[in-house]
A and B are shown apart, each in its own frame.
Chain A
Amino acid sequence: MAQTRTSTSARRNGHEPAAPVGTGAHRGSPSLFARVRRELTGAVQRRIPRADLDERDPDNIREQLPLFWLFSTLWFRGEVRGLGNIPDDGPVLLVGNHSGGNMIPDTMVFTVAFSTYFGVERPFYQLAHNLVLSLPGLSWLRKFGTVAASPENARKAVASGAALLVYPGGDYEVHRPSWQGNRVDFGGRKGFLRLALEQDVPVVPVVAIGGQETALFLTRGERLARLLALDRVLRLKVLPISISLPWIVNIGDVGQIPLPAKITIETLPAIDLRAEFGPDPDVDEVYDHVIRQMQNALDALAAERRFPVIG
């Protein structure tokens, strides 16, 4: 019963169905650890809301914007440049470098700026990690247009003519150590380019700096995550360790009070992949090009910065 619900909800979401649950009983009793792991996997999968683009609610966003604007302005001294580079209408794939751990400060700054610049009426979705969407108390994110990250959901959003914000680096990039804060690191993930080519939408790089200074991120903890089988249970490849308030030592990045680091975001000119790379572009070549452009912009932003956190 539970497993059918699990797999259907996963499939609805565009994920590969979870490994069959409960078949272990035929092969002899599984270890306690394995059973706990399966139960947890099922529980998380069940909690992932199905991607319904209609859950985005402009009136709700409008009501929430002042609060986020206050945070963005007073706490992070946010500055978003070049929003005019985003085509005024039609679908667009916004590709960002991801910083700041689970508190995603730069996403907040960018979302506020985008929503006020183009108006809450323009459909705008963001892809987020499954775990983010399955956490209790974060259901309001769906009203903001946040959907679970999967190729299927991304396709759905872009095909509907919306702007879609993706962070290809995901949990891998967002937990990079603070001293790698000024490095664009997607970990070789190129799915976003395949999506852009398939749907024929322009790619707009969004480069942010400052997020990695909201805490002192020490390590991704990839080995720790593997050891605890988090990749299979929670789709997490990392168990980061950072020094942050109020925990001092924060294992697993369980939320934090972010330091008021200045966040600057620059939107780069849109890239029309087929116009620049021919009718059948080589994904690796385009990937290198996008990364290089974003890294150059990030270097420029880093050069502008005089002090960490203060900006």
Chain B
Amino acid sequence: MRITGDRMLAAPIDDVWAIVTDPERVLNYMSGVTRWEVAGDVRTGLGARYRMLFRIGAAEVGGLVEVVEFDQPRDLAWTSVTGLDHRGRWRLREAPGGRTRVEFRLAYVVEGAGLSGWVAERVAAPTVSGHVRQTLQQLERLVEHERLRARAAARRRGAARP
């Protein structure tokens, strides 16, 4: 099952990239995630590993994930090493007017005996797509909030100087 969401953010691509590649900020915008910890020595970049959990229904699923694509500032993809089989991807593309088109994808496979995996995948889908939508909204709020703060700081600096 692949769930995709996209959104146009009024911010330059580098600002968005800085946020989605920062493991410490994942909990600030990624909806449904209850844990996102660096596992290992690499904090961010290709090969970085995170221990993550995602609340879905009566359980928190997840496990160890590893970043397998890190194409600055366009593509960030991870795949699960242990736990629920899934992949995630941030796809950022520059849009006219200094904006950024952000696409967030989550793809997961539930391996279950008999039909249970197939059913579980579909039962989980509405919740996952809700989280994808909310993640993008929260990311937008975070990015724009950061821009406002940066602008205000610049204004304050400008006002203090003369």
Q: Do A and B come together as binding partners?
A: yes
By a beta-carbon cutoff of 8 Å, the part of chain A in contact with chain B is 62-67, 69-70, 72-74, 76-80, 83-84, 109, 112-113, 116-117, 119, 121
Residue of B nearest to A108 (CB): B58
CB of B123 within 8 A of CB of A74, answer yes
Main secondary structure of the interface of A (DSSP, over half): helix
Q: Which residues 34-58 of B have a CB within 8 angstroms of A?
A: 35, 53, 57-58
* B18 located at the interface, meaning its Cβ lies under 8 Å from any Cβ of chain A in the complex: no
CB of A117 within 8 A of CB of B123, answer no
> Would you list the 8 A-B pairs with minimal beta carbon distance, nearest first?
A66-B112, A78-B58, A73-B57, A67-B116, A66-B120, A72-B58, A66-B116, A116-B59
CB of A109 within 8 A of CB of B58, answer yes
Complex interface: chain A residues within 8 A of B117 (CB): 63, 66
Give min CB distance, B158 to chain A, whole Å.
45
CB of B112 within 8 A of CB of A117, answer no
CB of A72 within 8 A of CB of B82, answer no
5 contacts between A and B (CB under 8 A): A63-B111, A67-B112, A70-B116, A70-B123, A116-B83
CB of B60 within 8 A of CB of A113, answer yes
CB of B58 within 8 A of CB of A113, answer yes
By a beta-carbon cutoff of 8 Å, the part of chain B in contact with chain A is 35, 53, 57-63, 82-84, 110-114, 116-117, 119-120, 123
CB of A70 within 8 A of CB of B120, answer yes
Complex interface: chain B residues within 8 A of A62 (CB): 111
Give min CB distance, B47 to chain A, whole Å.
21
CB of A116 within 8 A of CB of B84, answer yes
* Given known A70-B120, A119-B82, contact A64–B113 (CB-CB < 8 A): yes
Complex interface: chain A residues within 8 A of B84 (CB): 116
CB of B57 within 8 A of CB of A69, answer yes
Q: Which of A69, A78, A119, A121 contacts B120 (CB 8 A)?
A: A69
CB of A66 within 8 A of CB of B58, answer no
CB of B58 within 8 A of CB of A67, answer no
CB of B60 within 8 A of CB of A65, answer no
Alpha-carbon distance A116/B108, docked complex (angstroms): 15
* Given known A63-B111, A64-B113, A69-B120, contact A119–B63 (CB-CB < 8 A): yes
CB of B59 within 8 A of CB of A80, answer yes
CB of A63 within 8 A of CB of B123, answer no
User: Which interface residue of B59, B60, B110, B113 has the most chain A CB atoms within 10 A?
Assistant: B59
Complex interface: chain B residues within 8 A of A117 (CB): 53, 59-60
